[in-house]
């Protein structure tokens, strides 16, 4: 069996972020689907890489997954990868696994050592964008819990992102977390996002301020490359510290594990290097007694399905991300939508990653341009 064609789709899902899908075709008639992580204004760069990959992939055996990804890292970018490259590579790699699973008549998790669990726990995100006050966010959190989710994540800090914020903003963030905890009760997990924005001092102060609210974790209080800063925050935080969504491949996680600065990592399957790379990162985390909660700021289709396949075989898996703001369009474009029930999604035995996309729906939603994003200008608040 040989690869015969690569196609890319940029899909408008009605939000500020488009989706990028990869479709691999073979001479055996098997089609594999992958998904690349994307950001506004970056989609064209990602699909440019995918177009260049075709020169290397046409005629290649899809079973040569490890060789293919290593070759592209070593020979195509000479080990100088960018977000756009690793996003494209990850989408390609997922599609290769989808083909291999279908060719073998097996779900991918069976090719990775078998399932460790029958269903995958998910947490809700993408539900708090319009909540500006504690009253607003409490109502939004109640609505999420009414849908059966047992864990939910949000960023309590307003935009714009700043490394240093004043005390009023810190107090507001604490009040937002407090409102969510009061609204959902003690049995629902509250995951607090910080989006890599703070200095260690402010992050540490915030961690101590919300300790009595029992957050399930504090995510990315400082940038992932600030290993000393992460360790400082972890030393004063009662809640576990999470980081890793901006890192590529297991090479970049090596220093994070050595620093002892995190309790949980959150690599993203569609940018960290793909399905097998996520599995290998998780195996290294296991040896460091670190939990894994894969990031998934992608669609609720291909990336989520691939994440579920990898997560099923991880002893140290905790839960993964499900974006409520994406699920309507995700269901429209997917042949078998992944639907959470009581905060979990059942694992399928369908060969490959377990789903396929509807090309007619992808074409209907083809993006005509990247979502407009206003860049900040110089001001008194800059």
d(CA 90, CA 84): 10
Return the SS3 of 341.
Answer: strand
Across the beta sheet with 31-36, what order do the strands follow? Answer: 3-11, 19-26, 31-36
Contact (CB, 8 A) for 32 and 97: yes
Q: Which of the four pLDDT bands, split at 50, 70 and 90, describes residue 370? A: low
Residue 13: give its domain's CATH number: 3.30.390.10
d(CA 234, CA 231): 5
Residue 42 and residue 137 in one domain: no
* Cα-based angle 164, 170, 174 (whole degrees, multiple of 5): 150
CB proximity list for 310: less than 8 A, separation 6 or greater = 108, 109, 112, 269, 275, 278, 279, 282, 294
| DSSP secondary structure of 128-146 | -TT--SHHHHHHHHHHHHH
Q: What is the pLDDT of residues 344-362, one digit of tens each?
A: 999 999 999 999 999 999 9
Residue 216 and residue 80 in one domain: no
pLDDT attached to residue 80: 92
Q: Above 50 in pLDDT, residue 379?
A: no
The Cα-based distances of 28 to 32, 103, 262, 368 in angstroms read 12, 9, 45, 33
Q: What is the pLDDT of residues 199-247, one digit of tens each?
A: 999 999 999 999 999 999 999 999 999 999 999 999 999 999 999 999 9
Mean pLDDT confidence for 308-324: 98
Q: Above 50 in pLDDT, residue 364?
A: yes
Residue 92 and residue 128 in one domain: no
Residue 96 and residue 142 in one domain: no
Specify the number of domains making up the chain: 2
Mean pLDDT confidence for 312-333: 97
Residue 256 phi/psi, 5° resolution? -65, -45
Residue 213 and residue 243 in one domain: yes
Residue 28 and residue 80 in one domain: yes
pLDDT attached to residue 374: 54
Residue 97 and residue 191 in one domain: no
166 C-beta neighbours (distance < 10 Å), count: 9
Residue 234 and residue 165 in one domain: yes
Last residue within a domain, chosen from 106, 138, 162:
106
Q: Which of the four pLDDT bands, split at 50, 70 and 90, describes residue 164? A: confident
Last residue within a domain, chosen from 65, 86, 106:
106
Mean pLDDT confidence for 123-145: 97
pLDDT attached to residue 291: 98
Residue 299 and residue 200 in one domain: yes
Last residue within a domain, chosen from 46, 71, 106:
106
User: For residue 185, what are the domain limits?
Assistant: 110-353
Q: Above 50 in pLDDT, residue 382?
A: no
**128 φψ region: left (φ > 0), alpha (ψ -120 to 50), beta (else):** alpha
Look at strands 264-265 and 241-243 and give their pairing: parallel
Q: Percentage helix, strand, coil, to 5, in the chain? A: 40, 15, 40
Query: Six-digit token pair at 95?
Result: 């599609």
Residue 290: give its domain's CATH number: 3.20.20.120
Residue 36 and residue 151 in one domain: no
382 domain-assigned: no
Residue 195 and residue 268 in one domain: yes
């Amino acid at each position: 069996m040989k690869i015969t064609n690569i196609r890319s789709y940029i899909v408008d899902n009605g939000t500020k972020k488009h989706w990028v899908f990869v479709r691999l075709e073979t001479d055996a008639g098997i089609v594999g689907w992958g998904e690349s992580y994307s950001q506004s204004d970056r989609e064209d760069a990602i699909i440019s890489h995918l177009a260049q990959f075709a020169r290397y992939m046409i005629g290649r055996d899809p079973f040569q997954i490890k060789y293919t990804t290593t070759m592209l890292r070593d020979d195509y970018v000479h080990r100088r990868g960018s977000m756009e490259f690793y996003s494209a590579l990850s989408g390609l790699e997922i599609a290769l696994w989808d083909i291999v699973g279908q060719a073998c008549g097996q779900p991918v998790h069976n090719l990775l050592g078998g399932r460790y669990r029958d269903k995958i726990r998910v947490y809700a995100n993408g539900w708090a964008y319009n909540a500006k006050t504690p009253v607003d966010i409490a109502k939004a959190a109640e609505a999420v819990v009414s849908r059966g989710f047992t864990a939910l994540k949000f960023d309590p800090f307003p935009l714009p992102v700043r490394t240093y914020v004043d005390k009023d903003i810190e107090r507001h963030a604490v009040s937002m977390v407090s409102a969510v905890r009061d609204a959902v009760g003690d049995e629902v997990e509250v995951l607090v996002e910080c989006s890599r924005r703070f200095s260690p001092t402010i992050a540490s102060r915030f961690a101590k301020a919300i300790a009595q609210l029992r957050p399930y974790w504090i995510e990315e209080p400082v940038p992932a490359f600030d290993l000393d800063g992460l360790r400082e925050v972890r030393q004063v935080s009662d809640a576990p510290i999470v980081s890793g969504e901006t890192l590529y491949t297991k090479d970049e996680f090596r220093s994070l594990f050595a620093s002892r600065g995190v309790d949980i990592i959150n690599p993203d399957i569609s940018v960290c290097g793909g399905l097998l790379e996520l599995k290998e990162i998780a195996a290294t985390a296991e040896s460091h007694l670190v939990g894994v909660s894969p990031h998934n700021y992608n669609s609720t289709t291909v990336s989520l399905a691939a994440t579920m396949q990898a997560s099923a075989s991880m002893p140290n898996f905790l839960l993964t991300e499900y974006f409520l703001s994406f699920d309507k369009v995700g269901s429209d474009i997917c042949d078998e939508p992944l639907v959470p029930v009581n905060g979990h999604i059942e694992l399928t035995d369908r060969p490959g990653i377990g789903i396929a996309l509807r090309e007619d729906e992808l074409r209907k939603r083809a993006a005509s341009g990247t979502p407009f994003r206003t860049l900040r200008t110089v001001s008194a608040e800059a």
